[in-house]
Amino acid sequence: MAKKKIKWQAGDNFLVPLEDGSYSQGQVLTYEVQALNSAVCAFSGVRFESAPDHLDAIPEKDLIAVLFVTRDLLDSGRWHIVSNGPTAPWQKFLDIGELKSKGFIGVTIHGSGIVANFLSAFHKLLPWNCYRDPAYFDKLLISPDRRPADVVLKPGAPALDFC
């Protein structure tokens, strides 16, 4: 029997399960049908040991990424929606108007599973450089200064060694 698709909307705060059972926060910023039906989401660098029953918007100081993401883990409820409210301050990190005017040509849409790995790596639960491009996760950050100082690196990882 098929599972019921979860309805989500802009402003929804959700929990991303990490490798060790803890959580990181995400927030739906907008839904872009013309960008392959993706969600634009903000992600926090804050980690929760247990699932909170309410989340506020991600403050800019905690914001680590603003990404176009596939919606499968939102639709399935694996990224559990906790609350809805004002969105994180994201417009200075992504000019959605300009991207729309260009028909979203050149936009990269990240798989939600990769984003979950990125958040686990941010919290040192997976190696930071485990993809073919060892700087892949660095490119997901809103700024290089958001990279954790002592992330776990996997030395000499083979080109196709994934997390």
- Quote the tokens at residue 139: 């490119």
- Quote the tokens at residue 117: 């790995």
Domain coverage including residue 36: 12-146
Dihedral (CA of 125, 154, 66, 146) sign:
positive
**Per-residue confidence band for 89, with pLDDT thresholds at 50, 70 and 90:** confident
Question: Best-predicted range by mean pLDDT among 32-46, 56-70, 126-140?
Answer: 56-70
Is residue 1 situated within a structural domain?
no
Q: Would you say the pTM of this structure is higher than 0.75? A: yes
Is residue 154 situated within a structural domain?
no
Q: Is the pLDDT of residue 103 over 90?
A: no
Is residue 31 situated within a structural domain?
yes
Is residue 28 situated within a structural domain?
yes
Mean pLDDT of the 123-140 span: 90
Q: Is the pLDDT of residue 4 over 60?
A: yes
Is residue 116 situated within a structural domain?
yes
Question: Best-predicted range by mean pLDDT among 3-7, 33-37, 101-105?
Answer: 101-105
Determine phi and psi for 8, rounding to 5 degrees. Answer: -135, 165
Tell me how many domains the chain contains: 1
- The secondary structure of the chain, three-state, reads CCCCCCCCCCCEEEEEECCCCCEEEEEEEEEECCCCCEEEEEEEEEEECCCCCCCCCCCHHHEEEEEEECCHHHHHCCCEEEEECCCCCCCCCCCHHHHHHCCCCCCCEECHHHHHHHHHHHCCCCCCCCCCCCCCHHHHCCCHHHCCCCCCCCCCCCCCCCC
Is residue 153 situated within a structural domain?
no
